[in-house]
Amino acid sequence: MDRRHPRHGQLFRRESTNPILTPEDWPYTVNAVFNPGATLGPDGETILLVRVEDRSGVSHLTVARSSDGVTGWHIEDHPLIAPMRGRYEDRWGAEDPRITRMGEEYFISYTGFSPSGPLVILARTPDFRSYALCSVVAPPEDKDAGLFDRRFGGRHALLHRPVSSGVHGEAPNIWLSFSPDLVHWGDHRIVIEPRRTGSWDREKVGLGPPPLETASGWLVLFHGVKATAAGSLYRAGLALLDLEEPSIVLGRSDEWVFGPEAPYELQGDVPGVVFPTGWVAQEDGRVRVYYGAADTTVAVAFAWIDELVDFAYSHCVCGTFHPGRRCPLGGADPARAAEERPDALGLRQMEGQGTSASGGQDPG
Ligand code: BMA
């Protein structure tokens, strides 16, 4: 195993006019605009569903449209989704939407802040002018959900991040759940766990935008949290999931690939936060990633999709270089694997002893 790799540049290039949406841009008085879902409309315009926090501290979701996805935003003067009288599930706020297009319809998975805690609400809309609720995925607490845009064996699939009580000392994991009808969810499996060491994704992990299909696998951008003396740092890393069995992690980046650096990411209501929630694949092979900066504004950055895929394979948490091949640890923390999956670790040692990663047997 050789962990040395050429010094890699920034995978993401920030738009020079960032932040692209600020509270001052809003047609009504707000505190903050951040963590938007993103998609393309039927005529190719970019649609963002932006989390807007009003000055009472409660969030709702408002649509903004732009022909190039960067400038000339038209912002609706009223919310699409907002807490409403008599609805328990998002009484204290509608937050952090992700958007998945399937056929002619758009599915919105957002965090409803209920009096019992956060939960995942699925809604559907044909046009972002009206919507209908599909389901509450599970009782609280649950957050950071994104729907795959195709089915697996006839079933829909959702990545999300349930939170357990914490009494067992485990940090929350990203889970995969399936549904025949977008209402009943089951067959739950853990896909990405926080790591145990002092790494950037130690305290929490959570899905960013919905998974993006590539020829090599489902590309996942997820946030990781590290607690510091100055507060929590929210950064983003990459994972690649098997195209047909998305519970299988093909690769997971050891390093974060996008973190708070720009002034608008370091100053705001919650300094030190980049929180990607939407992305749009472009025809030129790049992806535009929309994210909340410091829980205050919306910003966008660009990356080449093939570079992100390569990075997930070649800078993997397992410490072996396995381009185009599945991670021998299934993307798990080597510290965990040492306790829980010594068989997998044995494979890793074999590779270190000369069985080359590219020539070795696929661990299956
Ligand atoms: C998370 C969510 C996000 C927020 C982030 C950073 O737990 O609540 O909405 O952007 O924290 O504050």
**CA 139, CA 188: separation in Å to the nearest integer?**
14
Tell me the percentage of the chain whose pLDDT exceeds 70: 89
Of all protein residues, the one whose alpha carbon is nearest to atom 1 of ligand 1 is 275
Reported as a pLDDT band with limits 50, 70 and 90, residue 350 is very low
Amino acid letter, 79: P
Q: How far apart, in whole angstroms, are the C-alpha atoms of residue 76 and residue 140?
A: 30
Residues contacting ligand 1 via CB (< 6 Å): 35, 95-96, 234, 270, 273, 275, 292, 295
Ligand 1 center to 311 CA (angstroms)? 26
Rounded Cα distance, 60 and 49, in Å: 10
What is the residue whose two structure tokens read 């966008």?
300
CA 337/CA 332 separation, integer angstroms? 6
* Atom in ligand 1 nearest the alpha carbon of residue 51: 9
pLDDT at site 114: 97
Give the number of other Cβ atoms within 10 Å of residue 93's Cβ. 23
Q: What is the mean pLDDT of residues 102-117?
A: 97
Q: Give me the pLDDT at residue 364, please.
A: 31
Distance 10 CA to ligand 1 centre (A): 24
Ordered domains of the chain (ranges, CATH): 13-334 (2.115.10.20)
Among the listed residues 162, 158, 163, 209, the one whose alpha carbon sits nearest the alpha carbon of residue 184: 158
Nearest CA to ligand 1 atom 10: 295
Q: Check: CB of residue 357 under 8 Å from CB of residue 320.
A: yes
What atom in ligand 1 is closest to the CA of residue 111? 9
- For residue 274, the CA-to-ligand 1 centroid distance in Å is 9
Ligand 1, residues 90, 234, 296: which to mutate, most atoms within 8 A of Cβ?
Answer: 234
The two structure tokens encoding residue 34: 């951040």
Q: How far apart are CA 166 and CA 285, in angstroms?
A: 41
**pLDDT for the residue 324:** 79
How far is it, in rounded angstroms, from Cα 196 to Cα 163? 17
| DSSP symbols for 193-217 | ---SSSSTTSSEEEE-SPPEEETTE
Whether the pLDDT of residue 339 is over 80: the answer is: no
- Model confidence at 30, pLDDT cuts 50, 70, 90, reads very high
Residue in 273, 274, 296 to alter for ligand 1 test, most ligand atoms within 8 A of Cβ: 273
- Please state, rounded to an integer, the average pLDDT across all residues of the chain: 90
- Output the pLDDT for position 165: 62
pLDDT class of 356 with cuts at 50, 70, 90 = very low
CA of 348 to the centre of ligand 1 (A): 36
pLDDT tens digit sequence for 137-148? 999 999 999 999
pTM exceeds 0.75, yes or no = yes
Q: How far is CA 65 from CA 9, 45, 133, 285, in A?
A: 32, 7, 22, 22
Cis upstream peptide for 19 (omega within 30°): yes
What is the model's pLDDT at position 344? 55
Q: Which pLDDT value is given to residue 353? A: 41
The tens digit of pLDDT for each residue in 125-167 reads: 999 999 999 999 999 999 999 999 999 999 999 999 998 766 6
Question: Is pLDDT above 60 for 100?
Answer: yes
Q: pLDDT tens across 307-338, in order?
A: 999 999 889 999 888 877 889 898 988 877 77
Task: Dump the DSSP string for 25-83.
Answer: GSSS--SEEEEEEEEE-TTS-EEEEEEEE-TTS-EEEEEEEESSSSS--EE-SS-SB--
Tell me the C-alpha to C-alpha distance, in Å, between residue 88 and each of 70, 82, 164: 35, 12, 21
Is residue 285 over pLDDT 70? yes
Give residue 273 CA to ligand 1 midpoint distance, Å: 8
Map residue 333 onto helix, strand or coil.
Answer: coil
Ligand 1 atom closest to Cα of residue 269 = 12
Q: Kindly report the CA angle at 277 between 7 and 227, in degrees rounded to 5?
A: 65
Q: What is the mean pLDDT of residues 222-246?
A: 96
Substitution candidate for ligand 1 out of 274, 295, 296 with most atoms within 8 A of CB = 295
